[in-house]
Structure 1
Amino acid sequence: MYTLMTTFISKILNRTASGFAVLSAVILSAGANASERLYIFTENYPPYNEAVSGKGFAHSEDEITGICSGMVKAMLARVDYEYVMKMRDWSYAYDWVQGRENHGLFCTARTDEREDQFQWVGPLAPIQWTLFAAPKSDITLDSLEDARKYRIAGYKGDVMSDYLVSQGFDVVMSVSGEVNPRRLELGEADLWVTDGLVGPLVAEQEHGISGLKPVLVFRETPMYLALSNETSPAIVSALQKALDQAREAGELDHLIGQYQP
């Protein structure tokens, strides 16, 4: 009787231990999968990133389109990570993703000043740093130095605006770049610094202003998906590999071709 009871108890303990082992493995696995969810932010910056609704906020990837957005989606389609994509004001998103694991931001210009703030996946698409004048303006520029005597409309957190501020130019900042074409029209600024494709689109779509004058292109910068330094390098590597595969398949060139005039 004693032998039978001992065997019975032993079987129960073995089964219980196995059950705990399986349960522990499930819990650990769920935790690992949860840690691989990515949180990706962007801004309303057509034609690179734009909301289907035309508004500056979007809460899912289905509501966000554009050149860079399409590139990032093509990359994410090649990895197993779950992701959340949202559109917010640039300065808010730029500050939010830093210091948070598995958080990223696009399209972000990769500069010397920003190099150590993020881990980089790219390049995606390049931007042309362009100074625009109002349609009826008679301003002409031969070099960036010629722009020092003018008021330049920019916005907070924008790499082009920040660069001009660092060089001592008179930059009138706003929270969003969407208001800047109107500033030109109202005479609140003489020039507007933005990307060569973005300027005319925003002016036309947001304010019905056509004929914006590009008076100087003074730099070109590649844009990237910028991931927080707290994100695992293995994830960064996997995303870079996926982007390279999308590029080799011709998907990135196809996206750029869809938006070029």
Structure 2
Amino acid sequence: MNIRALWLSALVLSCLDAPAQARELELYLIDAPPLTFVEDPQGYGLVGDVAIAAIERAGYQAKLSVLPWARAQRFVSLGSDLLIIPLSRIPEREDQYTWIAPILTMDRAFFSLEHKVDSYDEAKQRFRKIGVGLGSAQEATLLSEGFPPNQIYSMKIGENPAHMLDLGRIDAWFNGVPESLYIWKNTGIQRRLRMGKAVTSSDLYVACSKKCDPELVRQLREAMEAIQADGTAQRLQDAYQLQLPKH
């Protein structure tokens, strides 16, 4: 059994005072390694493991659900007492959710095979097509920074941005640093990936529907604070950090 599994098992045992039939909380997530894994025997990722640990510490049971990311966001926002990870807290989303607690701060940068680009202005001049995830914070950020829609290529689930870059279908990829490095490492592509300086960063949250039970919010926030204070969150994340490539 690996380190993450051991910690998750220990966390379950520490919650024996929780009700035998714990209430299920529906948690929406996307397969965005290493932030979140949907189907991986080793765990649920840097954000996923911590979110699930907090849910269990609060005395609930996580019921995992997967939808295309843009649809998942709409469904959770308009629903009631639904949770979602990993959601960047950006101005465009501020009034659409109940923000429970930050889990990780993530830098975002431009990735290319030809150029190291360190600013939005340079990216506007240098790149013809910039790949981003459909419905992602990256897509919203580029639009808010004045990038024309025809310069943004919004990729759907199943379109691997690393392969799109390797095949020349996009000139650059704007994304979170840990996710991009992890994806590139696991493609086996031998070409050098050039990463610019981080141009922005935001906190990745566990968030709830706009209509969310205040008592549930309080319990989850306190549970998150508890697992951060006692080192559980850091220990869960450290096991993943060891697997991330250096840049």
TM-score normalised by the chain length of structure 1: 0.76
Q: How does 1:200-219 map to 2 (within 5 A)?
A: 200-205=181-186, 207-210=187-190, 211-219=192-200
- Report the equivalent of 2:28: 41
- Which of 55, 70, 77 aligns to 1:98? It is 77
Q: How does 1:177-188 map to 2 (within 5 A)?
A: 178-188=159-169
Tell me the SS of whatever aligns to 2:185.
Answer: helix
Distance 1:176 1:212 in 2: 22
- Report the equivalent of 1:252: 233
Tell me the SS of whatever aligns to 1:238.
Answer: helix
The verdict on how the C-alpha distance between 1:107 and 1:245 changes in structure 2, with shifts beyond 3 A counting, is: same
Distance 1:100 1:92 in 2: 12
Q: How does 1:14-29 map to 2 (within 5 A)?
A: none
Identity %: 23
User: What's the offset of the Cα at 1:163?
Assistant: 1.1
**Letter of the structure 1 residue corresponding to residue 199 of structure 2:** F
Give structure 2 stretches of 5+ with no counterpart: 1-20
- Which of 78, 96, 119 aligns to 1:117? It is 96
The verdict on how the C-alpha distance between 1:124 and 1:252 changes in structure 2, with shifts beyond 3 A counting, is: same
Distance 1:142 1:225 in 2: 29
Within the alignment, does 1:163 sit opposite 2:141 as a pair? yes
Distance 2:237 2:178 in 1: 11
| Number of residue-to-residue matches in the alignment | 217
The verdict on how the C-alpha distance between 1:189 and 1:216 changes in structure 2, with shifts beyond 3 A counting, is: farther
2:104–2:204: 8 Å Cα contact kept in structure 1?
yes
Greater RCO, CA 8 A, separation 6+: 2
Distance 1:98 1:141 in 2: 34
Distance 2:90 2:158 in 1: 20
**Letter of the structure 2 residue corresponding to residue 49 of structure 1:** T
Give structure 1 stretches of 5+ with no counterpart: 1-33, 54-61
- Report the equivalent of 1:154: 132
- Report the equivalent of 1:29: none
Judging by fraction of residues, say which structure has more helix.
Answer: 1
**Letter of the structure 1 residue corresponding to residue 99 of structure 2:** W
**Letter of the structure 2 residue corresponding to residue 145 of structure 1:** D
- Report the equivalent of 1:70: 49
Tell me the SS of whatever aligns to 1:46.
Answer: coil
Distance 2:197 2:236 in 1: 26
2:22–2:60: 8 Å Cα contact kept in structure 1?
no
Tell me the SS of whatever aligns to 1:113.
Answer: helix
1:178–1:202: 8 Å Cα contact kept in structure 2?
no
1:91–1:175: 8 Å Cα contact kept in structure 2?
no
Q: Which has the larger radius of gyration?
A: 1
Distance 1:143 1:229 in 2: 34
Within the alignment, does 1:231 sit opposite 2:212 as a pair? yes
1:37–1:102: 8 Å Cα contact kept in structure 2?
no
User: What's the offset of the Cα at 1:52?
Assistant: 3.4
The verdict on how the C-alpha distance between 1:177 and 1:133 changes in structure 2, with shifts beyond 3 A counting, is: farther
The verdict on how the C-alpha distance between 1:78 and 1:241 changes in structure 2, with shifts beyond 3 A counting, is: same
Tell me the SS of whatever aligns to 2:65.
Answer: strand
* Superposed CA RMSD: 2.3
Alignment deviations for residues 138-159 of structure 1 (CA, whole Å, 9 cap, x no partner): x132422100021211121100
